[in-house]
Amino acid sequence: MLNQKLQLKLSQKLSPQQIQLMKLIQLSTLEFEQKLSREIEENPALDTINENIDNEKDDFEIEDNFEKDEVVDDEIDISDYLSDDDIPDYNLRTNNYSEENESAIPFASGTSFNQFLKNQLHSFSFNETDLKIAEFIVGSLDQFGYLRRDLIDISDDLAFSLGIDAKENQIQKILDKIYLLDPAGVGAKNLQECLILQLKRKKLTKNISNAIKITEDLFDEFSKRHFDKIKTKLNLSDDDLKDCVGEIEKLNPKPGGAYNENTKINSSIVPDFTIELVDGEIKLKLNSRNAPDLYVSQEYKNMLSGYSESKEKTKSQKDAVMFIKQKLDSAKWFIEAIKQRNQTLIMTMSAIVNFQKEYFLSGDEKKIKPMILKDIAEEITMDISTISRVANSKYVDTPYGIKLIKSFFSEGIKNSKGEDISTIEVKKTLENIIENEDKKKPLTDDQLTKLLNKEGYPIARRTVAKYREMIGAPVARLRRKL
């Protein structure tokens, strides 16, 4: 049985302008610059040239409640679109640009790792079919230069994609040639094979010969740092073993990664904020370099002016006016969104700087206080999601280096004196202990726990293990060195 009834309920929806603002806040400086460029290209009502620089105020207002069905009226009110004052009530360069005249980022160009390897294939006397197989294998390598696929799978793919019937032994012969490409180690199926390939490319000496035996026959013992077993099985002295391990440690476990790192395009970080210390005071700036001042196009306003002076208003003219008003609305919303974005970023970062003032004045990471997103959100009366968008994607250039804003947020624990301290302080202390330990007898997690407790940090062993993994330190056995 069907029933009809009335029900009242509250629901919250984000307007297109709010969605646009949230997206702008999340963008980094480089992404923001690219967004500005695209918007200027797509919206002819946006302009970077101000043709009325003598005015001091912007009276340009757009009716937000304009509906499409208004075009059916004989007259369209465009008086609000014809103000002569073009300067917006904010100025991007005055408020947000750094004083330094930074130039645009140069774009690097280079050959990709895949193409770099393919170029080397022509040094071999491959026939047409073998060259296609070799290029296919090179195209199957991952970013670190490893071939993570079985030969039978490559054989199947060659048959399906290129119509080439290649047996595994034929593919292996071509792969043996790929092993000779630079950088040494490319084409390996795993780390062990990668190290062996690199060692066999070196001049054969006693140390290299022993290093090859270790990687071929005793790789499991080597990876687990069971050096005593290696010495016994190969009858090596302490000095010989140290030299052999030293040769292995010089090798590159990710040959392709090294090439990609050297030819990476636009890998530098552009900070979104700059903090300077001037006479003991913290100066915060928002970096909006390469972002031009935006104005509403005078040409578009002149087009509306011509419509208002026209005695006969045709349907095509009204359609054109409708299009112009939509573009002007979009331009106004975008300019307003930029203003709100900059205000939000400055407010958020100012609150973070005030909260962590002791750190920014001294640079001592032990003075970073416990701080969560909620603390900043309550301080500036904004939603936690907004603070998260700023923290997760923005960097700040401080006198102590470029930092990810997210790194200033941390949980807190109580030390032995009952004081609230940041987990960042605990991790820093743990990092110092591991860095200064005796590498011949590295400290276990239990020993690290006792030392941290002695320093006044009452934390459990499993917490120490978690923090050790977070700072990128392996277990004691893998930190051992000869």
Ranges 246-260, 335-349, 369-383: which has the least confidence: 246-260
Q: What pLDDT shows up at residue 351?
A: 92
In one-letter notation, the amino acid at residue 230 is I
Instruction: Please state the separation of Cα 444 from the chain's center in Å.
Output: 34
Instruction: Please state the separation of Cα 286 from the chain's center in Å.
Output: 19
Mean pLDDT, rounded, of the chain: 76
Residues forming beta bridges with residue 274, ordered by sequence position: 285, 397
Say what the pTM is.
0.55
Which pLDDT band, with edges at 50, 70 and 90, does 331 fall under? confident
Mean pLDDT of 413-442: 81
Structure token pair of residue 132: 């296609």
pLDDT above 70 as % of the chain: 75
Please check the confidence at residue 17 and state whether its pLDDT lies above 80: no
- Which of 253-262, 300-309, 412-421 has maximum average pLDDT? 412-421
Q: What pLDDT shows up at residue 306?
A: 61
Q: 267: burial class by Cβ within 10 Å (0-12, 13-18, 19+)?
A: exposed
Which pLDDT band, with edges at 50, 70 and 90, does 354 fall under? very high
* 92 close to 338: Cβ distance less than 8 angstroms: yes
Please check the confidence at residue 219 and state whether its pLDDT lies above 60: yes
Tens digits of residue pLDDT in 167-213: 888 889 989 998 998 888 888 888 889 898 998 888 888 888 888 88
Which residue, 209, 261, 258, 272, is CA-closest to 236? Answer: 209
Which pLDDT band, with edges at 50, 70 and 90, does 478 fall under? confident
Mean pLDDT of 83-111: 42
Which pLDDT band, with edges at 50, 70 and 90, does 139 fall under? confident
Question: Domains of the chain by range and CATH?
Answer: 16-50+267-409 (no CATH), 113-262 (no CATH), 411-482 (1.10.10.60)
* 284 close to 349: Cβ distance less than 8 angstroms: yes
* 387 close to 376: Cβ distance less than 8 angstroms: yes
CB under 8 Å to 321, separation ≥6 — which residues? 71, 76, 78, 304, 307
Q: Distance (Å, rounded) from C-alpha 29 to C-alpha 272?
A: 6
In one-letter notation, the amino acid at residue 62 is I
What is the bridge-based pairing of β-strands 395-398 and 273-278?
A: parallel
Ranges 25-34, 175-184, 400-409, 456-465: which has the least confidence: 25-34
Please check the confidence at residue 162 and state whether its pLDDT lies above 60: yes
Q: What pLDDT shows up at residue 95?
A: 39
Ranges 334-338, 348-352, 356-360, 444-448: which has the least confidence: 334-338
* 389 close to 22: Cβ distance less than 8 angstroms: yes
Tens digits of residue pLDDT in 451-469: 888 888 888 888 888 888 8
Structure token pair of residue 127: 């026939």
Contacts of 464-467 spanning 24+ positions with Cβ under 8 A: 464/430, 467/423, 467/426, 467/427, 467/430
Which residue, 55, 461, 39, 11, is CA-closest to 292? Answer: 39
- Phi first, then psi: give them for residue 167, nearest 5 degrees: -80, 165
- The Cα-based distances of 311 to 41, 302, 314 in angstroms read 33, 16, 10
